[in-house]
Amino acid sequence: MSRLDPAALAALPADVQRPAYDRDALAPGIVHLGLGAFARAHLAVATEAARHADGDMRWGLVGVSMREAAVRDALAPQQGLYTVATRDADDAGRPRQRLRVIGGVREVLVAPEDPTAVLRAIARPATRLVSLTITEKGYAHDPATGALRLDHPAIAHDLAHAEAPRSAIGFVVHGLALRRAQGQGPITLLSLDNLPANGRTLQGLVQDFAGRVDAGLARWIEQGCTFPSSMVDRIVPRTTEADRAAVAAALGCDDAWPVVAEPFFDWAVEDRFAAGRPAWELGGARAVERAEPWEHLKLRMVNGSHSAIAYLGLLAGWRTVDEAIGQAPLRRFVDDLLRHEVAPTLPPLPGLDLAAYRASLLARFANPALAHRTQQIAMDGSQKLPQRLLGTVRDRIAAGQPIDRLALALAAWLQHLSGCDDAGREFTVDDPLAAALADLVAKADAQATAHARADALTRFAPVFGDLAGHPALVAALAPALESLRGRGARATLEAMT
């Protein structure tokens, strides 16, 4: 079969959407750090739709892979073209997909191969925006406090080596330094990761790092660059071989790296851009005054319950989110968690019907065409749980409210650190703090009582922060942990009222 590339576009089936503009005329306005599946199914799609709607050619994407060459190697022979397959089921439950070939990626750089090229791209006159989807751990910060980790090897390296950074924060700051040195103006730095106040968090890390290398640069950034916060929402599972085969069959040519997504798309972004932006509202985004309330809603409702499903599902042996949410006790648990423990902590949002939001979320999780693996979502829990579950826990404890379901979700994360499901099958615990977490579990296991075990587990400061040893948290965690250890996730869920 031939390969997807510009010459193949004309022969694609008529129902495949494709670029309808002159790709050669596309200026490289966006440098995007972390060109994974999520960015290709979210930022790139909204930018493509905006471009089709208004013909603004300033916003081509220069993608940067932060670690590996795989995306570049897949997309270079396709001259940056790739397919987004949006999948769900029709009313009769039959899976269906819509295909769209995206043309906005002009170039893919591989940071470790050529760090200078990344710095030069950030400094280029055409660059107006640097966006990031580098996952939570890519920020090299302390998840509980948001502070830059000076003990992080990549940060320590980058503070000393301006010319060949390794971390995203190092690339941003040294790239901005080069911009300033070359007389180019300030730009926007846009985080699209699932962090609370992601713009402000990025700004704090960038300013802290910049202040350590050059006070003048730190001032220049502070005075001219902007860091809008934004809430992003779209479920994008990792692409599988089966996805590649299905997309190739539908296209009639091979795409080495298509991405699969749900049809749902949401993006609430603060309209504070230092050097302009694409008209993303033409591609489904919403410009908002403050993104934080939307981030709060999304992190606690969508990601909080997603992580709960992932850990409970992994323990119970449910491999995908739709399989897990199809189990009545888990579905009831998630609905109750959202309804009784998460929703009451959220401030009212203009135009938002929380009950409809919850119902639509459960329907998204039940999408049978995504096969989103619980093990994928279980990754990097130490970086995710503070904003997904612990903020809610903190608010509820402060208000004297029960946290039983939140505690079960946390207990499932802690139990999954044993690397073994309820049937004794082993899996890998994929977490940047895995070694420290293994020590923690060993220490907890040496305790004599359930209460002492739970107490020891909450002492893990990077995750629990000021909740370490909190009596209300320990009191709710201890029975949840005991139940998961004793009778497993499935029976624990069944026993919950």
Q: Can you give the binding site for ligand CS2, defined by CB under 6 A? A: 194, 233-235, 302-303, 306, 376-377, 384
Runs of H (alpha helix) within 387-449:
391-398, 404-416, 434-445
Between residues 194 and 492, which has the closer beta carbon with respect to ligand CS2? 194
Question: How do strand 82-89 and strand 30-33 relate by DSSP bridges?
Answer: unpaired
The encoded tokens of residue 471 equal 């009596």
Q: Are 70 and 218 in contact (CB under 8 A)?
A: no
Looking at the DSSP bridge assignments, the partners of residue 30 are 61, 129
Place of tokens 């082993």: 426
> What end-to-end distance do the CA atoms of the chain give, in Å?
55
Between residues 377 and 474, which has the closer beta carbon with respect to ligand CS2? 377
Between residues 175 and 258, which has the closer beta carbon with respect to ligand CS2? 258
Between residues 111 and 302, which has the closer beta carbon with respect to ligand CS2? 302
Phi, psi of 403 (to 5 degrees): -130, 30
Least distance (Å) between residue 1 CB and ligand CS2: 31
Between residues 141 and 300, which has the closer beta carbon with respect to ligand CS2? 300
Residue nearest to ligand CS2 (CB): 306
Q: How far is CA 36 from CA 43, 163, 193, 201, 369, in A?
A: 11, 25, 12, 21, 20
Least distance (Å) between residue 264 CB and ligand CS2: 8
Between residues 210 and 370, which has the closer beta carbon with respect to ligand CS2? 370
Cα-to-chain-centroid distance, residue 374: 15
Least distance (Å) between residue 235 CB and ligand CS2: 4
Least distance (Å) between residue 64 CB and ligand CS2: 20
Between residues 256 and 302, which has the closer beta carbon with respect to ligand CS2? 302
The encoded tokens of residue 273 equal 């851009």
Between residues 62 and 342, which has the closer beta carbon with respect to ligand CS2? 342
Least distance (Å) between residue 325 CB and ligand CS2: 13
Least distance (Å) between residue 404 CB and ligand CS2: 22
Q: Are 169 and 122 in contact (CB under 8 A)?
A: no
Between residues 306 and 405, which has the closer beta carbon with respect to ligand CS2? 306
Question: How do strand 286-288 and strand 259-261 relate by DSSP bridges?
Answer: unpaired
Distance (Å, whole) CA 492 – CA 485: 10
Least distance (Å) between residue 207 CB and ligand CS2: 26
By C-alpha distance, which of 255, 238, 315, 219 is closest to 37? 238
By C-alpha distance, which of 266, 226, 254, 237 is closest to 379? 237
Distance (Å, whole) CA 411 – CA 282: 42
Least distance (Å) between residue 231 CB and ligand CS2: 9
Phi, psi of 134 (to 5 degrees): -115, 10
Between residues 233 and 322, which has the closer beta carbon with respect to ligand CS2? 233
Q: Report helix, strand or coil for 320.
A: strand
Distance (Å, whole) CA 464 – CA 452: 16
Least distance (Å) between residue 469 CB and ligand CS2: 27
In sequence order, what DSSP letters do the residues of 341-382 get, joined into one string? IIGGGSPP-TT--HHHHHHHHHHHHT-TTS--BHHHHHTTHH
Least distance (Å) between residue 302 CB and ligand CS2: 6
Distance (Å, whole) CA 292 – CA 199: 9
Q: How far is CA 456 from CA 44, 278, 450, in A?
A: 44, 49, 10
Least distance (Å) between residue 28 CB and ligand CS2: 27
Between residues 266 and 494, which has the closer beta carbon with respect to ligand CS2? 266
